[in-house]
Structure 1
Amino acid sequence: MKKFYGTGTYVQSAGVRGDLDIDGFAIAVCDELGVELARHQSRGFEELHEYGDHLSSFDLIVALTPTSKAQAEELTRVFHLDVEYWPIDDPAGLGENRDQKLDAYRHSRDQIVNRLIARWGPPRDGV
């Protein structure tokens, strides 16, 4: 998001579980677009507060899996906060060799890029 639209909007990444390492295939295919994930820290919803964020400070949660959608809806019952569900194919476990795995991750990455563009328009120049 920051790569396409700059830092004028505060964006934070969180998932159902925050104890996972960033997948090497995800790092590789995002790097192809100039998005650096190697130093990204995975965090769960519950960890946002530890990092100085609170769900009530956000306007929108974009959930990429049914599990994250359900958890986001449960956590936001008391907040005026929109939850959008973008069903993205899970590339984990797909493909029998490195090239097939990378293609599966590229497909998921491109699904997210297409959703970003559909929601917020084409990427800004110079970002």
Structure 2
Amino acid sequence: MSGSVERPAARTGLSSVLFVCGMNAIRSPMAEAIARSLLPPGVYVTSAGVRLGERDPFVDAVLAEQGLDLGHKRPQRLDDLEDSYFDLIVTMAPEAHHAVLDATGTESVEVEFWPMPDPSVATGSRDQIMGSYREVRDRIAARIRERLLAP
């Protein structure tokens, strides 16, 4: 089909994924945008934070380098999600992991901890800071390909 992009299949049975970090400002929205671009269109992907954060312009910049964007999406809290059931919840910060484990309790949901550094603590020139964000973006993309795409 001309103009269409062939996407690999998701792992068997995966129909929804939630990515969670501290403020839904950097790591989890990056993961959401990357996963949306790689997973089949039928897989529901979203992200949230334990606390409400502000959209980070460096995230927009490093995603744009890969032809990705967040659109009009704004950070949202885990407690504010309309959907509460996911096949897989991926946490990207210790705070998020503990909050998700507490929130899911005895629910039958798979929770995985993918620790990712917080690039917002980077200092130096704009290029050095962008380098920290790119490193996190690339680590997230590699982990999504490794874990969520069918072999």
Same fold flag (TM > 0.5): yes
| Aligned counterparts of 1:106 and 1:23: Cα–Cα separation in 2 | 13
Unmatched tracts of structure 2, length 5 or more? 1-34
Alignment of 1:1-127 (within 5 A): 1-17=35-51, 19-37=52-70, 39-48=72-81, 52-54=82-84, 57-121=85-149
| Aligned counterparts of 1:6 and 1:42: Cα–Cα separation in 2 | 23
* Amino-acid identity (%): 34
Q: Given that residues 27 and 37 in structure 1 are in contact (C-alpha distance below 8 angstroms), is that contact kept between their aligned partners in structure 2?
A: yes
Whose RCO is larger (CA < 8 A, sep 6+)?
2
Higher strand share: 2
Say what the alpha-carbon RMSD is for the aligned residues: 1.4
Read off the aligned partner of 2:67 and give its amino acid letter: G
4+ residue runs over 4 A deviation: none
Q: Given that residues 39 and 149 in structure 2 are in contact (C-alpha distance below 8 angstroms), is that contact kept between their aligned partners in structure 1?
A: no
| Aligned counterparts of 1:111 and 1:89: Cα–Cα separation in 2 | 10
| Aligned counterparts of 1:40 and 1:94: Cα–Cα separation in 2 | 24
- Pairwise CA distance, 1:4: 1.1
* TM-score normalised by the chain length of structure 2: 0.72
- Pairwise CA distance, 1:118: 0.7
* TM-score normalised by the chain length of structure 1: 0.85
Call closer, same or farther: CA 1:22–1:6 in 2, change over 3 Å. Answer: farther
Read off the aligned partner of 2:48 and give its amino acid letter: A
Q: Given that residues 90 and 113 in structure 2 are in contact (C-alpha distance below 8 angstroms), is that contact kept between their aligned partners in structure 1?
A: yes
C-alpha deviations, 1:4-53, integer Å up to 9, x for none? Answer: 11321111111111x312111111001111211252211111000xxx31
SS in 2 for 1:14: strand
Unmatched tracts of structure 1, length 5 or more? 123-127
Aligned residues: 116
